[in-house]
Amino acid sequence: MMPPSEATRSVLHIDLDALVANYRLLVSLLSGSRCGAVVKADAYGLGAEKISVALAAAGCEDFFVASVDEGIALRRHLPAKRIFVLDGVDSGDAREAAARGLIPVLNHRAQVEAWMRATASPGAIHLDTGMTRLGLSAADIDSMIASGALDRVRPQLLLSHLACSEDAAQTMNQAQRLAFVRVLDRLAPIQASLANSSGIFLGTDFHFDLVRPGAALYGINPTPNAPNPMRQVVQLKGKIVQLRDVDSPRTVGYGATHRLNGTARIATISVGYADGYLRALSNQGSGHIGNVRVPVVGRISMDLTTLDVTAAPLAACQPGEFIELIGPRNPVDDVAAEAGTIAYELLTRLGPRLARVYEGG
């Protein structure tokens, strides 16, 4: 790992060894099923190229992206792996997808027809089992069987998506699994995929041939009501650019939303909502200097955040030092909770101004 330069504003450390350890943990929970990887949205903001190459080296053969553009970009780095496009294709990009060896997940009849016109290569079929989002209905698939369209597509994978898998007690999980099996029985033999990250932890009945974790790979807790079994992959650090000692009452930041009543020490770091550190963390979030928690005070602005570092050692608060905003002491799920959102949104918002430093792998 190269150290950040003097000009670095803020740093996003990405631990590829932790990523691979998370992948191997998920593989260990399977019995005869393969473990793919969801790397859409630039691998949840962490860099699809580096993430995917590390996972491929660990044995991953199946990758899922959102769009054809994402698939084309990934194909340059994974020339021999299966790359599925979750949003499918239309008449404008079906031929390009076929030429790149991408496998579209066909979500409605127009996509099926566009793919059949473009190529004889097999696609994948998405069955809507209850999300009411993307996907063909069971009636659509019955119609395709009757018309012979399904035979022409020669699907190599049937997949669906669980709506409530993070809640193991939710009855919808079993309802979706049973709806999936009813259609799968009509299409056999065909590979099947139902489980996302949390779905893996619902048990082997949900694993089928291929599981599709995303969030768990990146350290997000797939079992929110239990301790996180995954290793933390991300550490966000903001550089201190100014330290201010306060000896009288005054306010901090836009809108004067935080008031200091006396002696305090305020550190300003060069990370803000333009970097993906959410404005909702204003007066809610926190960082760490060593083991000392330091609260965010005042509103987070576009480029800067202010924290009360009064309790931290003075030597560790000097300009040029860093404050941990996400990391081992401040896991991404906890930071997201402070912002009133989910870790998925927090990770995917982390912006390109952050200096990405990859460790391990």
Active centre residues (catalytic): 40, 254
Beta strand pairing call for 264-269 and 305-308: antiparallel
What is the C-alpha to C-alpha distance for residues 343 and 331, in angstroms, rounded to an integer?
9
Judged by DSSP in three states, 231 sits in coil
Amino acid at the residue 176: Q
Amino acid at the residue 58: A
Tell which phi-psi region holds residue 73, choosing left (phi > 0), alpha (psi between -120 and 50) or beta: alpha
Burial class (CB in 10 A: 0-12, 13-18, 19+), 73: middle
C-alpha angle 82/232/343, rounded to 5°?
80
Residue 238 near residue 10 (C-beta atoms within 8 A):
yes
Query: Strands, DSSP E only, in the chain?
Result: 10-15, 34-35, 37-38, 62-65, 82-85, 103-106, 124-126, 157-159, 191-193, 210-211, 234-246, 250-252, 258-260, 264-269, 286-289, 292-295, 305-308, 322-326, 355-359
What is the C-alpha to C-alpha distance for residues 101 and 88, in angstroms, rounded to an integer?
13
CA separation, residue 202 to residues 30, 68, 114, 167, 213 (Å): 11, 31, 36, 9, 13
Write b or e for each residue in 267-301: b if 16 or more Cβ atoms lie within 10 A of its Cβ, otherwise e.
Answer: bbbbbbbebbbbebbbeebbbbbeebebbbbbbbb
What is the C-alpha to C-alpha distance for residues 303 and 121, in angstroms, rounded to an integer?
48
